[in-house]
Amino acid sequence: MKWAIALGQVCGDSHVASGRPCEDAATILEKTAPNGDPLIFAAVCDGAGSVEQGGLGAKTAVEAAAARFSELATKDDFVLDEIVGWEILSAARHALEDKAAEMAIHLRELSCTFLALICSPDRTISVQIGDGGIVFHNENQQEEAWTVATIPMTGEYANSTHFLTTDKLGEICETKFFDGCPKQFAVFSDGLQSVALNLKTGAPHAPFFKPLFLVVDQNFNADKTVLNQALDAYLMTEAIRERSDDDKTLILCSVVDENEPEQLV
């Protein structure tokens, strides 16, 4: 099994105007389990704009989750189950607690969302707390095949959401299981919700994803830096920027047929 991967990330216009850096963080890792199964892990965190250290919280959470996944994936008894999802989430939360103690600040100052997807040939697990989205679809290209793992979470007030720093982590976090490995999946921060999802129904907006995955699939052997830069450029187009002035992060991953002809970006 071979994956075509792209990761795009741009600073939102509102952040640029206020002198704030991009406060999203993301990673995608490929591993091989001891039994030979290929595994892939993708995570996106969005630092809360209402706190000073939200970006640091997002970076800390992503790094800790990725490190814990890498540890678990090497264990001889590795099984992709609910425990793996909780272990990764807990590692991210504990890392925030440790960072808050180190900096002598309140945990909420590191508030961020948390989205992660882990895939094996037989099973897929999504973990989410907060807004942003995880979208995937199966082998056929029908629009109805597109699925959103979890409807982006909203908080008690308008334009608010839940964060990894909540006291009700176990109650609020949504972990879901799906059979098999999706043909394609995307993980994105809330800066792309208005173009990636139907805001009335919460369903994925297939016309947004299809052309992006076509480019990724046709360039699966291209230099990843070039592909990522092309995705960055797309996220900076006026058509995207006019829909949201927030930071935007998008991970695209697709199982590819290596016999398909490759094109340049």
pTM: 0.93
Give residue-wise pLDDT tens across range 74-83: 999 999 998 9
Cα separations in angstroms, 215 against 28, 34, 136, 157, 252: 18, 32, 16, 38, 10
Backbone φ, ψ for residue 116 (5° rounding): -145, 145
Q: How would residue 218 be classed by pLDDT, with cut points 50, 70 and 90?
A: confident
User: Residue ranges per domain, the chain?
Assistant: 3-255
- The whole-number pLDDT of residue 138 equals 75
- The answer to whether residue 16 scores a pLDDT higher than 70 is yes
Alpha carbon dihedral 117, 3, 208, 143, in 10-degree steps, equals -80
For residue 265, pLDDT beyond 80: no
E strand segments, 130-247:
133-137, 147-148, 174-179, 184-188
Q: pLDDT tens digits, residue range 118-133?
A: 999 999 999 999 999 9
The strand pairing partners of 128, in sequence order, are: 115, 174
| R_g (Cα) of the chain, nearest Å | 18
Contact between 110 and 92 under an 8 Å Cβ cutoff? The reply is: no
Could you give the count of Cα atoms lying within 13 Å of 209 in the half-sphere of its Cβ?
Answer: 32
User: Which CATH code, of 3.40.1160.10, 3.60.40.10, 3.40.50.300, 1.10.10.10, is assigned to 3-255?
Assistant: 3.60.40.10
Tell me the residue type at 150: T
Cβ contact 142:204 at 8 Å: no
Minimum mean pLDDT range among 86-100, 157-171, 189-203:
157-171
